[in-house]
Copies of this chain bind each other. A is one copy, B any other.
């Protein structure tokens, strides 16, 4: 169920963002090449990466990097399929008791659903079941939101480090004021650092963090539905009522 899907909106967005900057540059008669500056790149990207590495522990930083795949290949969380599945459990349990759910455990890919189903089969009390699944939900939420903060922090450091790069460039310009011919070009180089810092943060880092957070949010809705459904099945509720209740989670 959780297989991912190429997120065309992300690709259109990145194409548009790059196209707007480069297209604008060309429309104005400028050279695209004057936007490519190794010095600015080293300062802005290196400095941002450095600050982000200091802030996060290695495992959280690595998780943040791995979650980046969600920006391009969004997990395909189909909430209606969750309803079908949970209602199916309810029907099975009604007919053959909670133990009859055991064969379903093998074909279950999602570890959260499998753990819940296992507890259901083991005959856990509804209250204990809910409590334990909610502890796990919260741990998932906190851990993944922390990882999404890797991109958010990069988006926070990047513009100021871009300004840092610009100021470093301007210092260099000011020290060579005696050669006015180089003045303009020097300032131009300095400004490229600002473009890198502000652009990377606003066109990539911050949207990345927000898209990752949206996926986490959707996964949390799915998990809340699973917990609600498991408790209802454990309570032996009518599958039709379970369906009505779970539909309320989908706006």
A45 to B20, CA, bound (A): 8
A61 within 8 A of B: yes
Shortest A129–chain B CB gap in Å is 11
Given A14-B50, A20-B46, A174-B191, A198 contacting B27 (CB threshold 8 A): no
Q: Are A184 and B188 in contact (CB under 8 A)?
A: no
Shortest A190–chain B CB gap in Å is 9
Shortest A132–chain B CB gap in Å is 5
Residues in A lying within 8 Å of B, measured CB to CB: 7-10, 12-21, 23-25, 27-30, 34-35, 38-40, 42-47, 49-58, 60-61, 71, 74, 132-133, 135-136, 139-140, 142-144, 146, 153, 157, 159-161, 163-165, 167-178, 183-185, 187-189, 191-192, 194-195, 198-199, 201-204, 206-208, 210-211, 214, 217, 221, 244-245, 248-251
Task: List 27 A–B pairs whose Cβ atoms lie within 8 Å, in order of A's numbering.
Answer: A8-B58, A9-B57, A10-B54, A13-B49, A16-B47, A18-B50, A20-B46, A21-B168, A23-B43, A24-B42, A24-B43, A34-B175, A35-B168, A47-B202, A54-B208, A55-B207, A56-B210, A136-B251, A139-B248, A142-B217, A159-B160, A163-B194, A164-B199, A171-B188, A171-B191, A174-B183, A174-B184
